[in-house]
Chain A
Amino acid sequence: MASTSTDLDRLIRHDRVHGSLYRDPAIFDAELEKIWYRTWVYVGHESEVANADDFVMKSIGPQPVIMTRGRSGDINLLLNRCPHRGNQVCTAPRGNAKTFTCPYHNWTFANDGRLTAYAFPAGYDGQDMSRLGLGRVPRVASYRGFVFGSFAAEGPSLEEHLGGAAETIDRLCEASPEGEVEITAGFLQHRVKANWKFVLENETDGYHPAFVHASIFSVADSGIGALYGAKSTALSRDYGNGHTEVDLRPEFRRIGQPMAWFGTTADRVPDYVAKMKRSHGERKAREIMTDGTPHVMIFPNLFIAEIQIFVLQARGVDDTVQHVTALQLKGAPDLNRRLRQQTMGSVGPAGFLLADDSEMYERTQRGVQSRNPEWLYLGRGQHRERRDENGYQVAHATDELPQRGIWRHYRTLMEAA
C-alpha cells in the first residue's frame, strides 16, 4: 500500500507526480478509504428529489447510494444493501416510494432507512429492530441545493471543505433570476478506461483546449478557443482543499458584452435579460451576464463547466464514469433550452468536445504503463504564480497551478491517519 508518508514522498513532488499513482490498484484501494469514503463527495442535487418520497440512485465511488427525500423534506443518503443478507433493496434509477422492500426475504424499510417490518416476525422475537436499518452515509449536507455526503462521522464541515470555492457556486446560482439551479434533464453516462485523476486534472487544464479541441474550433466558431490562448487574460486559481478554477471573467470583462460567455447576445434572450434586471438590478445583472458562470472543479468529483455539471465516479483504477447533464437556471426557460442543446452537442459519449478529452484520458492511461520517464511533469507556470486580492494562488489560464494544488490536497488526505 502506498499510504504511508514515505511512499507518497517518493511519488508526489511539488512539480511532478509518479506514473504509478494512476495505475496501481493498491493506490486506488487506498484512495477509496482515504478520499472517496472520507471527504465530502458530491452526490446529487435537491431538485432531483423535488417532492416528498422521491428517490434517485446515485453513487459515492463504486458504491451505489440511494438519495431520498423523506416526508419531512430532509434528504437521506442510504446504502443499497439489505442489513439482513446483503441483497440490493432498490434497482430502479429513480421513483417515488415511501418504503423499499427487499425482494429476498421481504424486509421493508422506510425511505429514511429505518426497518419498519420483516416477514414472519415471530422468528425475531426480542430483536431490536432499530439496529437493523439500512446503512446511511453518516453526514449529509447541502450547499445551495448541491448535496454532498461524507462517510466520516466527524471531520471538517461542508462549508469548511468548500472554503473559498463556495463562492463559485454562489456565482452559478446568481445566473438564475431566482437564484437557484435545477438538475432536471437526466444524465449522460460516459465511461472511460482511465484513472479518475486524469479526468479530475483535465477539468481545469487550460493548456489542452487549443490542441485537443482544435477540430471543433476549426469547424464551429464558438469563441472558446481564444479564451485558452497564450495571450488570454483568463486565470487559473487554486482555492485550496483541492478545489480549482479556470476564471474566464477577465476575458469576458475585456470583451464587455453581456451573454458573450454563452455565445450569444443580450437581445437574443430578452426574457432572461429582463428577469435578471428585475431580480438583481440593472448594474448587477449586467455584471453577472458579462462574467458568466464558473468553470470550477470541486474536489474530488463535481465539475461545474459553465453550462453543465460533470459528476466523476471512480469505479476502478482504470474505470471512471463521467455523469453529465445540462444546468438549468430556475426561471430561465429560454436559456434552459439552449443549455440542454449545447450540452448535448458538446459532451457525453458522442460529444464534440468530450469524446476527444476522453480519448486523451485513455491514451494517457496506456501511456503511463510505459516505465520511463517515471514521472508526469506539472511544472508549467511556476514562475508566474501570484496571489489574488483574496489571497488565493493564481496563474495564467494555461498553467498547471490547478494540478499542483490538486496533488497538494491529495497528499494531505492520503497521508492523514
Chain B
Amino acid sequence: MAIGDGALLKRIEQFIYREARLQDEHRYDEWEALWTDDAIYWVPANGDDIDPDQHMSIIYDNRSRIGVRVRQLLSGKRLAQEPRSRLRHLVTNIELVGCRAGEISAACNVMVFESNLRDATIWAARTDYVLREENGALKMARKKVALVNNDKPLYTLSFLI
C-alpha cells in the first residue's frame, strides 16, 4: 500500500461511497459492520480539534456506543427517525492522506441533504477516516465528521452522518 497508488485510491473512494449510501438508505446493520472493534465515531462541537475527553462533542461514540446508536435506530421507536429522514450524501475532494502501519488515512468533503418532517436541512463537513484492512475488507477504525457550523446552534442530527 502506498499513498501514490491509484488502485488504492480507487478502492478507498468506493469504500467511502458505499458507506455514504448505507447511511442514506438506513442500512444500519451493514453500516455497523464497517467498524473495527476499537472504533471511534466522532462529531466534534465548537471547533474541529477540541479534546473530546475534556469537552462536549455532538457524537463521541466508542464501539459499544455505536452499537447502542444502531440498536436505537433499529428499535422502530427512535422518534426523531420515525419517519426516517430522506438523505443524500454528496462526497467530493477525496484524498489519500497517509498509509502507515497498516492504517490508511483519507479525507473528503461531504454535503448532506436531509428532508424530514421539519423541513430540508443542508449539512456540510470535512470528514477524516482511518481505515484498516481486516480479512480482505476495509474497516473504519475512526471517522471524524467536522461540521462546518459545529460552533452554532444545530437542529437535531439523528441520522448517521
Binding site for B on A (CB under 8 A): 93, 184-193, 212, 214-216, 218-220, 321, 324-326, 337, 340-341, 343-345, 348-350, 352, 354-356, 358-360, 362-363, 366
**Cα distance, A185 to B55, chains bound together (Å):** 4
Q: Is B117 an interface residue (CB 8 A)?
A: yes
B68 partner residues in chain A, CB cutoff 8 A: 216, 219-220, 345, 352
Residue of A186, A325, A326, A354 with most partner-chain B CB within 10 A: A186
A93 partner residues in chain B, CB cutoff 8 A: 46, 151
Q: Which residue of B lies closest to A343 (CB)?
A: B56
Is B56 a contact of A326 with CB atoms below 8 Å? yes
**Cα distance, A337 to B79, chains bound together (Å):** 29
Residue of B53, B68, B77 with most partner-chain A CB within 10 A: B77
- Which residue in A218, A355, A358 is a CB contact (below 8 Å) of B77? A218
Q: Is B118 an interface residue (CB 8 A)?
A: yes
Is B56 a contact of A219 with CB atoms below 8 Å? no
20 further contact pairs, Cβ within 8 A, besides A184-B54, A190-B155, A360-B79: A93-B151, A190-B156, A192-B155, A215-B76, A215-B77, A215-B78, A215-B79, A216-B68, A218-B75, A218-B77, A219-B75, A321-B153, A337-B53, A340-B53, A341-B60, A344-B56, A345-B61, A350-B156, A355-B157, A358-B156
Count B-side interface residues using an 8 Å CB cutoff: 35
A345 partner residues in chain B, CB cutoff 8 A: 61, 65, 68
B43 partner residues in chain A, CB cutoff 8 A: 350
Is A349 a contact of B55 with CB atoms below 8 Å? no
- Which residue in A193, A349, A363 is a CB contact (below 8 Å) of B58? A349
**Cα distance, A343 to B118, chains bound together (Å):** 25
What are 8 A-to-B residue pairs whose CB atoms are below 8 Å? A186-B56, A188-B56, A215-B76, A326-B56, A344-B56, A348-B45, A359-B117, A359-B158
Q: Which residue of B lies closest to A214 (CB)?
A: B77
Q: In whole Å, how far is A375's beta carbon from the nearest beta carbon of chain B?
A: 24
Q: Is B36 an interface residue (CB 8 A)?
A: no
Q: Is B154 an interface residue (CB 8 A)?
A: yes
Please give me the 6 A-B residue pairs with the lowest Cβ-Cβ distance, nearest first.
A215-B77, A191-B153, A189-B153, A219-B71, A355-B80, A349-B157
A321 partner residues in chain B, CB cutoff 8 A: 153
Q: Is B108 an interface residue (CB 8 A)?
A: no
B153 partner residues in chain A, CB cutoff 8 A: 189-191, 321
A341 partner residues in chain B, CB cutoff 8 A: 60
Q: Which residue of B lies closest to A189 (CB)?
A: B153
Given the contacts A349-B154, A358-B156, A187 and B79 also touching, CB distance less than 8 Å: no
B117 partner residues in chain A, CB cutoff 8 A: 359, 362-363, 366
Q: In whole Å, how far is A218's beta carbon from the nearest beta carbon of chain B?
A: 5
Question: In residues 59-116 of chain B, which contact A (Cβ within 8 Å)?
Answer: 59-61, 65, 68-69, 71-72, 75-80
**Cα distance, A341 to B57, chains bound together (Å):** 9
**Cα distance, A358 to B154, chains bound together (Å):** 12
Q: In whole Å, how far is B105's beta carbon from the nearest beta carbon of chain A?
A: 24
Question: In residues 125-161 of chain B, which contact A (Cβ within 8 Å)?
Answer: 151-158
**Cα distance, A340 to B52, chains bound together (Å):** 9
**Cα distance, A216 to B75, chains bound together (Å):** 8
**Cα distance, A324 to B55, chains bound together (Å):** 12
B46 partner residues in chain A, CB cutoff 8 A: 93, 186-187
B78 partner residues in chain A, CB cutoff 8 A: 215, 355-356
**Cα distance, A326 to B68, chains bound together (Å):** 20
- Which residue in B60, B69, B156 is a CB contact (below 8 Å) of A349? B156
Is A350 a contact of B59 with CB atoms below 8 Å? yes
Is A185 a contact of B152 with CB atoms below 8 Å? no
Q: In whole Å, how far is A181's beta carbon from the nearest beta carbon of chain B?
A: 16
Q: Is B8 an interface residue (CB 8 A)?
A: no
Is A193 a contact of B72 with CB atoms below 8 Å? no
Is A344 a contact of B60 with CB atoms below 8 Å? yes
Q: Is B1 an interface residue (CB 8 A)?
A: no
**Cα distance, A188 to B152, chains bound together (Å):** 9
B61 partner residues in chain A, CB cutoff 8 A: 345
Residue of A187, A193, A348, A352 with most partner-chain B CB within 10 A: A348
Q: Which residue of B lies closest to A218 (CB)?
A: B75
Is A350 a contact of B58 with CB atoms below 8 Å? yes
Q: Is B50 an interface residue (CB 8 A)?
A: yes
Is A352 a contact of B45 with CB atoms below 8 Å? no
Is A340 a contact of B56 with CB atoms below 8 Å? yes
Is B75 a contact of A215 with CB atoms below 8 Å? yes
Is A185 a contact of B75 with CB atoms below 8 Å? no
